[in-house]
Amino acid sequence: MKKLERVEVVQSVLERLYPKTPSPLNHDNIFELLIAVLLSAQCTDERVNMVTPDLFQKAPSVRKMASLPAHEILESIKSCGLAPQKAKAIERLSRMLVDNYQAKVPESFEELEKLPGVGHKTASVVMSQGFGHPAFPVDTHIHRLAQRWGLTNGINVSHTERDMKRLFPEDRWNKLHLQIIFFGREHCSARSCFGLACEICRTCYPRRKNPVKTKKP
């Protein structure tokens, strides 16, 4: 099967399974989304959704969060991975938003990536899920599945992002990245399938016999 045919398979299966793509991170505004995405690094979305209610109750606005010292933020998020570093980043990020952005989350990749704790993937999620701009955030699920489906060689996440943007239409990016994440969790996880068992892998590579060894991001 040619690559463009695999692209069609991916789009068809994912659209059938996941016609709706709600954000997996609970939030009421773009600032809460930004904080939740920052917390999700090396932490499950389920865990993030467990800790953010307490944090957002303490600090229901950017200015309230900016007034919290890092140790109080840490009390709410301590069960997340890398919690001490994240608490410091949230404190500094919130103060920067107050000082430099009128307590608003900036609506550009360049400005978002200037914020403490915010890398390109976090900025991409905020731009796509928060502001609705076309973006293709690549997490470990997408990086792994794109390799299993023969859509990228997996050199690194930046390369995977470029390949996925080239293969799929821009107006599908925001929805598609969530569809792939959902599929990766439910059908083609890191500890199952290995390129052999899920519907997309079997359809795209019906003669594949050996597990696919994917490159880590």
Residues labelled catalytic: 121, 139
Q: Which helix (H) or strand (E) holds 14?
A: helix 3-17
d(CA 180, CA 124) in angstroms, rounded, equals: 15
CA distances from 61 to 30, 31, 68, 166 (A): 11, 8, 11, 38
d(CA 211, CA 86) in angstroms, rounded, equals: 36
d(CA 144, CA 209) in angstroms, rounded, equals: 18
Per-residue DSSP letter, 170: G
| Residue for token pair 């430099």 | 100
* Of 131, 126, 158, 127, residue with least CA distance to 142: 158
d(CA 151, CA 189) in angstroms, rounded, equals: 17
Sign of CA dihedral 116, 175, 55, 105: positive
